[in-house]
């Protein structure tokens, strides 16, 4: 008997979480071995590890408690990785040396697999004077471009992806450029963006008053607050970014407001963190805790949940002690405050099992009740840990109890904290759980509604062929196992494709009341939602107590999401509206090709490099087909040969291959770049990318330097009957990317933009 509820679950485990030798030989023979490895590793922080190992194993068993992916993949492996998902980095100094010190710290953190968040509001605006150099500042966005290139370089070196979040205050002079930065699809691709919105700004928006954009005490511009708000709204309506973070609300509610000020979040927004703060995540799987599902007496087993929460809090507290950290400052911050983020997943499935329709008042009330129970259990468990191991070092009883979150906490919990202290400064957070939810049997993610009742994914077999398999939501499968495959789903079953946006907000607001950090949630909006209705979603989120708001509206720019057909089965189908058409098979090489040869002389190199790029004519248009790189310098021989083969293979596949230029130009050489024709080129590979870009412009394939595809010259050779498929998954190459919880997620392999 397999422990996995669906084939995709076992595939996710094998691909992402199973411990293997470097050659791919499995060390974890079964998922039970993985649970044992994690339990044993986290029990090492205990005085009697053998006792707690079994208790931790029991919590992990059957996917009841789901540590975040980095814990599941890294605990007990002996590898130099962090078990923390993500970090907010130190405050960026407004100096060149300070900025690049921060860049180095970011690179070291991402190298260990952590996502990072940064507030770029501390950098002076574009055009501001720079003392001592007779020049004007380039502004924070220019440095964000450097961070973006660094992230791509780290990824190209094979490190596991860690996403990045950039924030900027709503009163920074460059905030308007920040808001519209992602309108250029080639810019800041490694970043999620969010504007830090203050209470004063929201009041000015409602009053249609003026708003000053200022830095360092100087007012640079005055705009109408409502105009700036509309600019934020228009950008996210069109491009799904930036998100909005209600930063004053976050700081007022923070249990630690007496020792820290928050100005940034982790990449998905559920963890507002101070400089060098780290997020440690895990989720209680509510879908596994429902007794008598789909019966009249169906209910969440609260006693079992309390016991599970108590064990989970202890496990997460131990992670602080056993994890490695990329930087000393991060370790110190984590140990001083012992912040954890225990959340839930499978909420929507659990609601379906007890007969409630997600998004209704009844479901919101039940969600609030369950989250309150988890908050109580978490805080009381942390008090018990404080009795045994001591309170977190920066605990101040009077100041802690006076914080915004603690003022609404139940009196018995407050009394316990007053008497014994508390081990963890903050305890609850709801993360995007896309991958671990698939691993747990395709339960609904976080507090999101069921994304789709079922969908078809393509699976790569060992012989290279691909088969199709149906992936069914956990609750739907359970219902049909109980009542028959042909059983009609009850009327209270609903999913993300049919849910009204304000119903999403209602559920987020209900959960936020009892979450001391924040919540990662995407509010799906229909493509035809009016701009005024769209703005209402954000205003409702603010008025109902949410700490932030993220929406996704499918359109020609942002891409498609799964859409539900009108059939009784409600089978999702992929919207095939994409601009670029890809060939099914690579082209054969003609007998003769036309091309150009370019000479590239890298400074301080004895020999020049010669690049020959040959083109093919298709449909009257010229497009690149192959590249050859030659040099007398034998030091370059192996990698230039490999590079030519890889680039040529990409060129022969057709479609929009201009990304090759972008990726090469982003490569930094740690030994230093060179100045060429008045530009700083960060590496010889970047120089090669520049030559290829020059050629693509020359043959009219792309619009210009730094710009994308000019036409689609490949459309004429598209396979008959083949639909356009959009962008390919960077992990498996399949054209199954969909927006789930604000992250582009591959429905074939489970790869997620957010890691």
Which position among 86, 170, 268, 729 bears the catalytic label? 268
Asked whether the predicted pLDDT for residue 711 surpasses 70, the reply is: no
- Its pTM stands at 0.80
Give 397's pLDDT tier (boundaries 50, 70, 90): very high
According to DSSP, the residues that pair with 617 across neighbouring strands are 622
The DSSP string of 423-446 is S-S--B-B---HHHHHHTTSPPPT
pLDDT, mean of residues 156-178: 82
Cis ω before 221 (30° cut-off from 0): no
Closest-CA residue to 316 (of 484, 229, 233, 428): 428
Mean pLDDT of 113-123: 91
Q: Between 171 and 240, where is the model more confident? A: 171
Summarize pLDDT for 725-742 with one digit per residue, the tens: 445 555 555 556 666 655
Six token digits for residue 181: 């930065």
**Quick check: is 270 catalytic?**
yes
Q: How far apart are CA 284 and CA 343, in angstroms?
A: 6
H or E element that contains 459: strand 454-460
For the stretch 169-196, pLDDT in tens is: 999 999 999 999 988 877 888 899 999 9
Which numeric CATH code is attached to 1-85+280-521?
A: 3.20.70.20
Asked if 695 and 704 touch (Cβ cutoff 8 Å), the reply is: no
Note the pLDDT tens digit of each residue in 408-467: 999 999 999 999 999 999 999 999 888 899 999 999 999 999 988 988 877 656 555 667
Q: What is the mean pLDDT of residues 532-544?
A: 98
- Domain residue ranges of the chain, discontinuous segments joined by +: 1-85+280-521, 93-253, 594-717
Rounded distance between C-alpha atoms, residue 634 and residue 504, angstroms: 60
CB 119 within 8 A of CB 196: yes
Closest listed residue to residue 113, CA positions, set 167, 73, 78: 73
From the centroid of its chain, how far is CA 249?
23
Q: How far is the CA of 316 from the CAs of 71, 328, 375, 411, 559, in angstroms? A: 10, 20, 15, 25, 37
Give the pLDDT confidence of 657-704 residue by residue, as tens digits. 777 888 888 777 766 778 777 777 888 888 898 899 899 888 888 877
255 tagged catalytic: no
Q: pLDDT class for 651, splitting at 50, 70, 90?
A: confident
- Over residues 631-657, the mean pLDDT reads 76
pLDDT surpassing 80 at residue 325:
yes
Residue 742 is predicted with a pLDDT of 55
The whole-number pLDDT of residue 442 equals: 94
> Which residue is catalytic, options 85, 266, 424, 614?
266
Which segment, 460-464, 525-529, 670-674, 719-723, is predicted with the most confidence on average?
525-529
pLDDT tens by residue, 32-72:
999 999 999 999 999 999 999 999 999 999 999 999 999 99
- Measured distance CA(114)–CA(119) in Å, rounded: 17
CB atoms within 10 A of CB 353: 25
Q: Does the annotation count 527 as an active-site position?
A: no
Indicate which residue of 46, 53, 105, 270 is catalytic: 270
Indicate the pLDDT class of residue 479, thresholds 50, 70 and 90: very high
User: Whole-angstrom Cα distance, residue 274 to residue 266?
Assistant: 10
Reduce the DSSP state of residue 193 to 3 states and report it: strand
Distance CA 307, CA 309 (A): 6
Q: What is the pLDDT of residue 582?
A: 35
Query: What pLDDT is stored for residue 747 in this prediction?
Result: 64
Q: In whole angstroms, what is the distance from residue 126 CA to residue 172 CA?
A: 11
Find tokens 């956990």 and name the residue: 474
**Is 713's pLDDT higher than 90?**
no
The secondary structure element, H or E, covering residue 135 is: strand 135-136
Instruction: Specify the length of the chain in residues.
Output: 755
What backbone phi and psi angles, to 5 degrees, belong to 192?
-95, 145
Does residue 627 surpass a pLDDT of 70? Answer: yes
- Give bridge partners of residue 596 from the DSSP assignment: 613
Rg (the chain; Cα; Å): 26
Helices (H), 62-172: 69-74, 96-111, 140-156
With a pLDDT cut of 90, the percent of the chain lying above it is: 60
């Amino acid at each position: 008997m397999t422990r996995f509820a669906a084939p995709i679950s076992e595939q996710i485990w094998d691909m992402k979480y199973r411990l293997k030798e470097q050659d791919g030989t499995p060390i974890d023979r079964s998922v039970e071995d993985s649970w044992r490895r994690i339990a044993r590793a986290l029990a090492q922080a205990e005085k009697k590890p053998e006792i707690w190992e079994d208790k931790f194993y029991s919590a992990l068993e059957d996917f009841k408690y789901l540590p975040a992916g980095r814990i599941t993949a890294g605990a007990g492996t002996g590898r130099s990785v962090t078990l923390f998902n993500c970090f907010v980095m130190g405050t960026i100094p407004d100096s060149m040396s300070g900025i690049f010190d921060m860049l180095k710290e970011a690179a070291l953190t991402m190298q260990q697999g952590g996502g990072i968040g940064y507030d770029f509001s501390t950098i002076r605006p574009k055009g501001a004077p720079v003392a001592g150099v007779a020049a004007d500042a380039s502004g924070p966005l220019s440095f964000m471009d450097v961070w973006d290139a660094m992230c791509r370089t780290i990824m190209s070196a094979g490190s596991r992806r860690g996403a990045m979040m950039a924030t900027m205050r709503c009163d920074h002079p460059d905030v308007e450029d920040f808001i519209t930065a992602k309108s250029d699809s080639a810019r800041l691709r490694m970043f999620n963006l969010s504007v830090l919105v203050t209470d004063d700004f929201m009041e000015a928006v409602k009053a249609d008053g003026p708003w000053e954009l200022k830095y360092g005490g100087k007012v640079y511009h005055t705009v109408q607050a409502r105009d700036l708000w509309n600019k934020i709204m228009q950008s996210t309506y069109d491009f799904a970014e930036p998100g909005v973070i209600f930063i004053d609300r976050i700081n007022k509610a923070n249990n630690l407001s007496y020792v820290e000020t928050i100005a940034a979040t982790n990449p998905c927004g559920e963890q507002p963190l101070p400089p060098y703060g780290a997020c440690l995540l895990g989720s209680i799987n509510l879908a596994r805790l429902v007794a008598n599902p789909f019966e009249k007496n169906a209910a969440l087993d609260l006693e079992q949940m309390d016991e599970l929460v108590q064990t989970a809090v202890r496990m997460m507290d131990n992670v602080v002690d056993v994890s490695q950290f990329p930087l000393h400052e991060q370790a110190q911050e984590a140990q001083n405050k012992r912040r954890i983020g225990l959340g839930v997943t499978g909420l929507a499935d659990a609601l379906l099992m007890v007969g409630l329709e997600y998004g209704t008042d009844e479901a919101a009330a039940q969600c609030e009740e369950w989250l309150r129970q988890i908050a109580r259990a978490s805080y009381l468990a942390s008090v018990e840990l404080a009795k045994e191991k001591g309170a977190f070092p920066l605990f101040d009883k009077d100041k802690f109890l006076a914080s915004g979150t603690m003022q609404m906490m139940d009196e018995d919990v407050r009394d316990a904290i007053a008497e014994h202290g508390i081990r963890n400064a903050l305890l609850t957070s709801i993360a995007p759980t896309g991958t671990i939810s698939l691993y747990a049997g395709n339960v609904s993610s976080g507090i999101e509604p069921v994304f789709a009742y079922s969908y078809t994914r393509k699976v790569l077999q060992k012989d290279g062929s691909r088969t199709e398999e149906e992936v069914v939501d956990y609750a739907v499968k359970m219902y049909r196992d109980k009542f028959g495959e042909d059983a009609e789903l009850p009327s209270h079953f609903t999913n993300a494709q049919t849910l009204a946006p304000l119903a999403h907000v209602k559920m987020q607001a209900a959960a936020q009341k009892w979450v001391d950090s924040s919540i990662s949630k995407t509010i799906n909006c229909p493509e035809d939602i009016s701009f005024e209705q769209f703005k209402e979603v954000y205003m409702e989120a603010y008025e109902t107590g949410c700490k932030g708001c993220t929406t996704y509206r499918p359109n020609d720019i942002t891409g498609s999401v799964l859409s539900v057909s009108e059939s009784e089965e409600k089978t999702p189908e992929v919207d095939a509206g994409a601009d670029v058409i890809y060939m099914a098979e690579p082209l054969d090489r003609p007998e003769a090709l036309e091309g150009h040869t370019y000479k590239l002389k890298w400074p301080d190199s004895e020999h020049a490099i010669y690049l020959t790029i040959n083109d093919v004519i298709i449909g009257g248009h010229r497009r690149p087909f192959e590249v050859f790189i030659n040099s007398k310098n034998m030091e370059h021989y192996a990698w230039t040969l490999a590079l030519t083969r890889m680039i040529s293979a990409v060129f022969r596949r057709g479609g929009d291959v201009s990304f090759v230029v972008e990726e090469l130009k982003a490569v930094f050489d740690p030994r230093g770049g060179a100045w060429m024709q008045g530009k700083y080129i960060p590496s010889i590979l970047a120089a090669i990318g520049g030559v290829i870009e020059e050629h693509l412009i020359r043959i009219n394939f792309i619009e210009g330097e730094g710009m994308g595809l000019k036409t689609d010259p490949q459309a004429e050779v598209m396979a008959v009957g083949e639909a356009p498929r959009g962008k390919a998954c960077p992990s498996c190459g399949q054209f199954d990317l969909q927006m789930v919880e604000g992250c582009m997620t591959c429905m074939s392999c489970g790869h997620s933009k957010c890691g």
